[in-house]
Amino acid sequence: MSDHPANLGENVIADAPERRLNMIEAINEALDIMLARDPDVIIMGEDVGYFGGVFRATAGLQAKHGKTRVFDTPISECGIIGVAVGMGAYGLRPVPEIQFADYIYPGLDQLISEAARLRYRSAGDYIAPMTVRSPFGGGIFGGQTHSQSPEALFTHVAGLKTVIPATPYDAKGLLISAIEDNDPVIFFEPKRIYNGPFTGFYDKPVEPWKKHPDSGVPEGYYKVPLGKARKVREGEALTVLAYGTMVHVAEAVCREKGVDAEILDLRTLVPLDIKAIEASVEKTGRCLIVHEATRTSGFGAELSALVTERCFYHLEAPVERVTGFDTPYPHSLEWAYFPGPVRIGEAIDKLLSE
């Protein structure tokens, strides 16, 4: 659980720091701080330099820190990751951006066979202390090549860590932890909530981050540790395991339905905060897993297996998974694909009826 004051009580807005940032601003600030603190940190990626990135995450950083610290790259994800491995071997701490998670696949061999295994295969001689930032997830009418959630491809790889923030506060603190981490970290940013905590009710306006308690972002350096989940809300009726955008969707559905759910924002998928999950499921006896990614072999399957293996005798009902469908992300039927309030509501009803 985060020690951030916004998580501590009912009067969250009143107690939260005055300073409010959206997720892009929080990420930009984390990068800025790390560039200033550590001369080994460099940022590279497509359009990240002069222009500041297609989502503006690196805006102003090249002007402030110089062209050899923040620069554009050729359109070659294989090259970006490969070069980052070499820079890590030199002693730098690269933070490459992959413009969309959907574009990361040409770099997979460099991530899976190289970065992830370098420490192991060289017995600690060389490490790959890189943080690969990449916007992921849908809900922005991005079609099949700007909407995917490929996190399970990375959680399956020994040697990688996978981190997904759900709030501006966490985005900044987790990104700083990821950059300082000596293992390669995949840092997926839920782009649907860059500007506001989207609740899944796509026909309603999205509240901007500035009105949300978790947009209170202190100035300067702070860390949110990797491997620790955040308790979004306490509850008794069921446990909801979610990350990224789906934290906010699940929270809104539970609020709408008046369900006393305990919601865990996992924040880090590997290493996973298994203790927080066990404690919650043992208390509630019911477990709902929500992710936007396709269902089959998704990370929800791992979560479901872990909960079943470890909390079976506490369960009052079978574990439920709510996920995207096993289709490519469609363009016009985006909201039919998205695991929204109806799908989540139905699963909650089923869980609570047993």
Q: Indicate which residues carry an active-site annotation.
A: 146
Does residue 225 bind other proteins (CB under 8 A)? no
- Per-residue DSSP letters for 169-188? HHHHHHHHHHHH-SS-EEEE
- Applying CB under 8 A, among 10, 14, 18, 68 the residue interacting with other proteins is 68
Distance (Å, whole) CA 275 – CA 288: 17
Quick check: 90 binds other proteins (CB under 8 A)?
Answer: yes
The answer to whether 158 contacts other proteins (rule: CB under 8 A) is yes
Q: Scan residues 122-141 and list those touching other proteins (CB under 8 A).
A: 122-127
ω before 271 within 30° of 0 (cis)?
A: yes
In whole angstroms, give the CA distance from residue 251 to residue 104.
30
What is the closest distance, in whole angstroms, from the C-beta atom of residue 310 to other proteins in the complex? Answer: 10
Shorter beta-carbon distance to other proteins: residue 155 or 195? 155
Query: What are the residues whose beta carbons fall under 8 Å from the beta carbon of 48, sequence distance 6 or more?
Result: 57, 58, 61, 62, 70, 71, 72, 73, 97
Residues β-bridged to residue 231:
264
29 binds other proteins (CB under 8 A): no
State which residue, 76 or 327, has the beta carbon closest to other proteins.
76
Q: Which of 109, 219, 234, 326 is the binder for other proteins (CB under 8 A)?
A: 109
Write the DSSP assignment of 119-164 as a string of letters.
Answer: HHHTTTSS----EEEEEE--SSS-GGGS----HHHHHTSTT-EEE-
Q: Does 296 bind other proteins (CB under 8 A)?
A: no
Residue 331 class from Cβ within 10 Å (0-12 exposed, 13-18 middle, 19+ buried)?
Answer: middle
**Is residue 51 part of the contact set for other proteins (CB under 8 A)?**
no
Give the span between the Cα atoms of 186 and 73, in whole angstroms: 19
Task: Give me the least distance between CB of 71 and other proteins, in Å please.
Answer: 8
Candidate residues 31, 43, 118, 287; the one interacting with other proteins per rule CB under 8 A: 118
Contact status: 113 vs other proteins (CB under 8 A): yes
Would you count residue 309 as binding other proteins (CB under 8 A)?
Answer: no
In Å, how far are 11, 284, 305 from 319, measured between CA atoms?
Answer: 33, 12, 9
Question: 């790390």: which residue's tokens?
Answer: 34
Q: Does 98 bind other proteins (CB under 8 A)?
A: no
Binding residue for other proteins (CB under 8 A) from 145, 182, 296, 327?
A: 182
Number of residues forming the site for other proteins (CB under 8 A): 46
Binding region for other proteins (CB under 8 A): 42, 68-69, 73-74, 76, 78-79, 81-87, 89-92, 94, 106, 109-110, 113-114, 118-127, 158-159, 161, 181-183, 227, 270-272, 274
